[in-house]
Amino acid sequence: MSKTEVGFNEQHRLQYHFSPKEMWMNDPNGMVYYDGEYHLFFQHTPHTSTPDFPNMHWGHAISTDMVHWKELPPAIAPDEHGAIFSGSAVVDYNNTAGLQSGKDKTLISIFTYSPANGVQNQGMAYSNDRGRTWVKYENNPVLQNQGIADFRDPKVFWYERDQKWFMTLAVKDHVELYSSPDLKFWTKESEFGQSIGAHGGIWECPDLFSLSDGNGAEKWVMLVSINPGGPNGGSATQYFIGDFDGHKFTAEHSDIRWLDNGPDNYAGVTWSNVKRRKLLLGWMSNWEYSQIVPTNKWRGAMTVPRELELVKIDGQTYVASMPVSELNTLHESKGLKAGLALNSSVDLAETYDIQPSKFDLSFTIENKPFELKLSNDDGEYLLVGYDLGNREFYIDRRRAGKTSFSDAFGRRNTAKRISNDGNIEIRLLVDVSSIELFTDDGEVVMTSLFFPNSDFTHLELSTESKTTLKGFEINEMKSIW
Ligand code: FRU
């Protein structure tokens, strides 16, 4: 199909990130891999491009590579128990819930019911046809509110050691852990978080999973999204590293850590049922202005999928995230691997014949300040760089186009470097109205939206003094639509 038939060529429409064809989208939900397909459900109101919370559905898209997506009709709709808020999905391999009816394993989603009175409960739905149709469980809700209205976003995982299910649930200012033999009856195991981490806002969308630390040892990671109270204002996702003993999660550090320091990555959680990789994507927006960003036909996009790993820096373990390798299939054949001698400034778009509204750039630079300037002929520009004196990366979107829709949008956002290594590694993904900066192999990440009045046509890279960039590679990205 041509682009015009599909639509997806509107101003600001991302060309290689998932966004719904039309209307509102927020959090990713129910991410599960089954039978060769990645499922991505999402918070969606099918008839409004601003969130109509009482009418919140689970939208649905599928992909075989997390890059090319096919949007399907909304999967789960509100009912007498309330709107369908965020949650997760699992494959019930052992038929613990007894709901399997054919040869396919049952996919089970656990989500929050948000009723008109705001007192939230958890509900369940299941699919015996590879996620195409969903039936609500007859005895919903499966977990009743304990007296705190903010009681939501169940993320369920199978705990192999004890052969049972666990659920993390966000309860106002902490996470509660529940266990279950069958996904239907849940027992509270423990609480985490009242006196640790960032508390500038309410806790939402937790996720608990194990990762290998590269030396064969296993650590547990707890993700917690928080709104507001993020490092650059509004909503953001923090993480904790620690241990889970089959009842309780304990963090091994007391400092606050962010999965992404930029303003526009929220509510990200990992895919269920993916062996050997931990894959995540987030909602590429911020509750401070998500409802009024200047896209009207649709509102909301996801980040690129990212693979999570543990890394050690000065004896401390951190979570690093990098774009999944599947994205490389979108590279136009302009890729170039070499050393690039840089003498003050070069326009990369002109030199390599790149359309700088959608590209993937990587290089390694000595520990020096540098700046990339994306600009158009209307005098609008976006700045991305490293400030050596303050040891911080920045994305400055103050003059990058439309900002007046919100006071919270037109800012220069920063993130401290963690690594003390001499060289700085940069990977930068730009897609029409989004930028994702991965530094030092994903130790510090920044995701940001921007809305230029016309596409950027120049991409200038400058440094204060002569240097040679190593591993330089730039590729225009193909559209997925
Ligand atoms: C996070 C969130 C969740 C909630 C959903 C409602 O962005 O507020 O806590 O379930 O969005 O759409």
- CATH code for position 222: 2.115.10.20
One-letter amino acid at 186 equals W
Query: What pLDDT does residue 334 have?
Result: 67
- Tell whether 347 and 206 lie within a shared domain: no
DSSP 3-state percent helix, strand, coil across the chain (nearest 5): 5, 50, 45
- Tell whether 113 and 169 lie within a shared domain: yes
- Tell whether 316 and 347 lie within a shared domain: no
165 lies in some domain: yes
Query: What pLDDT does residue 308 have?
Result: 98
CA of 110 to the centre of ligand 1 (A): 14
4 lies in some domain: no
- Tell whether 275 and 211 lie within a shared domain: yes
- Find, among 3, 481, 11, the residue nearest to 293 by Cα: 11
Tokens of 426: 């940069």
390 lies in some domain: yes
CA of 152 to the centre of ligand 1 (A): 8
The answer to whether 364 and 383 are in contact (CB under 8 A) is no
**Each residue's pLDDT expressed in tens, for the chain with a length of 481 residues:** 344 445 799 999 999 999 999 999 999 999 999 999 999 999 999 999 999 999 999 999 999 999 999 999 999 999 999 999 999 999 999 999 999 999 999 999 999 999 999 999 999 999 999 999 999 999 999 999 989 999 999 999 999 999 999 999 999 999 999 999 999 999 999 999 999 999 999 999 999 999 998 788 899 999 999 999 999 999 999 999 999 999 999 999 999 999 999 999 999 999 999 999 999 999 999 999 999 999 999 999 999 999 999 999 999 999 999 999 999 999 997 667 677 888 889 999 999 889 999 999 999 999 999 999 999 999 999 999 999 999 999 999 999 999 999 999 999 999 999 998 889 999 999 999 999 999 999 999 999 999 999 999 999 999 988 999 999 999 999 999 9
The answer to whether 361 and 335 are in contact (CB under 8 A) is no
Query: What pLDDT does residue 215 have?
Result: 80
Query: What pLDDT does residue 136 have?
Result: 98
How many other C-beta atoms lie within 10 A of the C-beta of residue 79? 13
14 lies in some domain: no
Catalytic residue among 27, 92, 360, 440: 27
Query: What pLDDT does residue 390 have?
Result: 97
CA of 28 to the centre of ligand 1 (A): 10
Query: What pLDDT does residue 6 have?
Result: 57
Does the beta carbon of 85 lie inside 6 Å of ligand 1?
A: yes
**Choice from 42, 175, 205 to test ligand 1 binding pocket (greatest atom count within 8 A of CB):** 205
415 lies in some domain: yes
Does the beta carbon of 380 lie inside 6 Å of ligand 1?
A: no
Tokens of 331: 């590279």
CA of 145 to the centre of ligand 1 (A): 17
Query: What pLDDT does residue 1 have?
Result: 38
- Find, among 266, 265, 241, 271, the residue nearest to 253 by Cα: 241
15 lies in some domain: no
The answer to whether 152 and 267 are in contact (CB under 8 A) is no
- Tell whether 279 and 348 lie within a shared domain: no
- Tell whether 315 and 350 lie within a shared domain: no
Query: Mind giving me the DSSP string for 462-475?
Result: EESS-EEEEEEEEE
Phi, psi of 310 (to 5 degrees): -95, 140
- Domain end: 280, 298, 323, which one? 323
6 lies in some domain: no
Q: What domain range includes position 346?
A: 328-477
- Tell whether 291 and 430 lie within a shared domain: no
Give the E-state strand segments of 173-265 in sequence order: 174-180, 187-192, 202-212, 218-227, 236-244, 249-251
11 lies in some domain: no
Query: What pLDDT does residue 5 have?
Result: 47
- Tell whether 304 and 359 lie within a shared domain: no
- Tell whether 364 and 312 lie within a shared domain: no
Is 378 a catalytic site residue? no
- Tell whether 118 and 250 lie within a shared domain: yes
Task: Please provide the distance, in angstroms rounded to a whole number, between the alpha carbons at the two ends of the chain.
Answer: 9
- Tell whether 101 and 250 lie within a shared domain: yes
How many other C-beta atoms lie within 10 A of the C-beta of residue 390? 12
Does the beta carbon of 44 lie inside 6 Å of ligand 1?
A: no
CATH code (residue 335): 2.60.120.560
- Tell whether 177 and 254 lie within a shared domain: yes
- Domain end: 295, 323, 351, which one? 323
Domain count, the chain: 2
Spell out the residues 6+ positions from residue 403 whose beta carbon is closer than 8 angstroms to its own: 397, 409, 410, 451
How many other C-beta atoms lie within 10 A of the C-beta of residue 133? 12
- Domain end: 296, 323, 350, which one? 323
